[in-house]
A and B are shown apart, each in its own frame.
Chain A
């Protein structure tokens, strides 16, 4: 089944959403869209993410022979020295690095500050990411007034 949001990637997550009238609605999502969607799915998000991590951990089957065309690093080499050779490695070894990052970090999306000289569009996207992260935190802390404000701010930014 294809993801019902992006209509491109394979759906790996099934979400049961309860509508305001009490009826159920089932949505199939890919990993990435699930993560985007997850912010509003406050209760199932952690569980959902946990399942994703569980399915991706362990030794990656493919990719260990991969070599970065830019710096010449192989994944084997990285495993031995624990250092990457260039910025492109994050793309080249994405399949192997993402599960590792999920294990040692707190998610796969940067939500902190951004360099002053990056373009306006990227700035907006990062600001959106940051607001969504804050919304997640506010919901977890049950600060609903703050969460509502953040939700409105996110909506406004998306409409602009």
Chain B
């Protein structure tokens, strides 16, 4: 893997964009398959290879973004593959799968196009802040450019055909990653999520399907992909997320006025531990960083940039630590390396 992915983290961690105190990032992905080829589940190794070659070539030709790089995941080592998962550029399944597959990544890491994941193509755009409309426009343009070179499997009734019927139609998954510590602390999340599921939306953890929520991060996304237009789907997610943001803000304000000392204690204690720890697990890091992040957002901590906090969430993940060390290290060594990295970042 080349240098660009080792040191600099992606655009989506900048901590900028609308509602960035609560919305970490917005993401839209489109699932597409190529006409005339079997879907992944039934495709032989040879057919997968042909799809991989065809798509990597045509992604290049379509010229969808500046300086796109294509990574062959079949030959990449496990640390590099996990690194891409930690950066949200590929899914866990894509990293752990076997056979010919890859991912094309734009320089700013906003755009990533997975080849031979669950579908032949998964076009994803991910940026910081609450900006679904802009993302839709951009990813739709990219999709159009690709479809000038690639014949998509499309059906007049069912729309874009996908390997799983949960994605058929528009093939769209719209998701927003939210940081909701105040709702979590006051144990009001369950109530919120119940309302969300009534709107046919799903809530997931930091790394998507089947993952635990950690660091008080939650992804809200659509489940319906057929029978509604992309704009309708985006509107639904948008309006529900707006409500959640409003609740989280209300609770944060209530905490500030009603139990300021407790809140300050929690925030400063977390900051102190992170600045002074010598050994720390990934889990504890996420919890403490979550408190610090809210402290920065509420103006309690003034000497720390939100982008630094966002980056630490990712840089302290196992593969990122190992990449930094330049070798595989075990859990005990990672906990030490993690503590050192955090101290260096926070004390400078």
Which of the 9-residue segments B3-11, B166-174, B207-215 touches chain A? B166-174
Inter-chain contacts of A134 with B (CB < 8 A): 229
- Is the Cβ of B164 less than 8 Å from the Cβ of A83? yes
- Is the Cβ of B163 less than 8 Å from the Cβ of A112? no
Contact of A112 with B156 at beta-carbon distance under 8 Å, contacts A71-B39, A85-B41 already known: no
- Is the Cβ of A114 less than 8 Å from the Cβ of B154? yes
| Bound: A126/B160 CA distance, A | 12
User: Does B225 reach chain A (CB closer than 8 Å)?
Assistant: yes
Inter-chain contacts of B169 with A (CB < 8 A): 105, 110, 112
Contact of A84 with B226 at beta-carbon distance under 8 Å, contacts A126-B156, A137-B232 already known: no
B54 to chain A, nearest CB (A): 16
- Is the Cβ of A86 less than 8 Å from the Cβ of B39? yes
| Bound: A86/B120 CA distance, A | 11
Q: What residue of chain A has the Cβ atom nearest to residue B42's Cβ?
A: A85
User: Does B268 reach chain A (CB closer than 8 Å)?
Assistant: no
User: Does A18 reach chain B (CB closer than 8 Å)?
Assistant: no
| Bound: A109/B169 CA distance, A | 8
Q: Produce 1/0 per residue, A93-114, CB < 8 A to B.
A: 0000100110011111111111
User: Does B33 reach chain A (CB closer than 8 Å)?
Assistant: yes
Interface SS, A side: loop
Which of the 9-residue segments B19-27, B140-148, B290-298, B301-309 touches chain A? B140-148
- Is the Cβ of B155 less than 8 Å from the Cβ of A110? yes
| Bound: A98/B227 CA distance, A | 13
Within 8 A of B (CB), among A115-139: 115-118, 122, 125-126, 130, 133-134, 137
Contact of A116 with B39 at beta-carbon distance under 8 Å, contacts A83-B118, A90-B158, A105-B225 already known: no
- Is the Cβ of B227 less than 8 Å from the Cβ of A108? yes
Inter-chain contacts of B38 with A (CB < 8 A): 70-71, 85-86
| Bound: A121/B90 CA distance, A | 37
A107 to chain B, nearest CB (A): 3
Q: What residue of chain A has the Cβ atom nearest to residue B169's Cβ?
A: A110
- Is the Cβ of A82 less than 8 Å from the Cβ of B164? yes
Inter-chain contacts of B228 with A (CB < 8 A): 106-107, 111-112, 133
- Is the Cβ of B41 less than 8 Å from the Cβ of A84? yes
Partner of B33, one of A70, A87, A117: A87
User: Does B153 reach chain A (CB closer than 8 Å)?
Assistant: yes
User: Does B57 reach chain A (CB closer than 8 Å)?
Assistant: no
Contact of A125 with B156 at beta-carbon distance under 8 Å, contacts A116-B147, A117-B148 already known: yes
- Is the Cβ of B151 less than 8 Å from the Cβ of A117? yes
B221 to chain A, nearest CB (A): 15
| Bound: A108/B166 CA distance, A | 12
Within 8 A of A (CB), among B295-347: none
User: Does B152 reach chain A (CB closer than 8 Å)?
Assistant: yes
Within 8 A of A (CB), among B38-95: 38-42
Inter-chain contacts of B147 with A (CB < 8 A): 115-117
Within 8 A of B (CB), among A66-89: 70-73, 81-87
Inter-chain contacts of B229 with A (CB < 8 A): 111-113, 130, 133-134
User: Does B230 reach chain A (CB closer than 8 Å)?
Assistant: yes
| Bound: A114/B151 CA distance, A | 12
User: Does B348 reach chain A (CB closer than 8 Å)?
Assistant: no
Partner of B226, one of A73, A110, A122: A110
- Is the Cβ of B226 less than 8 Å from the Cβ of A71? no
- Is the Cβ of A112 less than 8 Å from the Cβ of B168? no
Most buried by B among A83, A115, A130, A134: A115
| Bound: A107/B115 CA distance, A | 29
A86-B38, A115-B152 given; name 18 further pairs at CB < 8 Å.
Answer: A71-B38, A83-B118, A83-B164, A87-B155, A97-B165, A105-B165, A105-B226, A106-B226, A109-B157, A110-B156, A110-B160, A111-B229, A112-B159, A114-B154, A115-B147, A116-B148, A125-B156, A133-B232
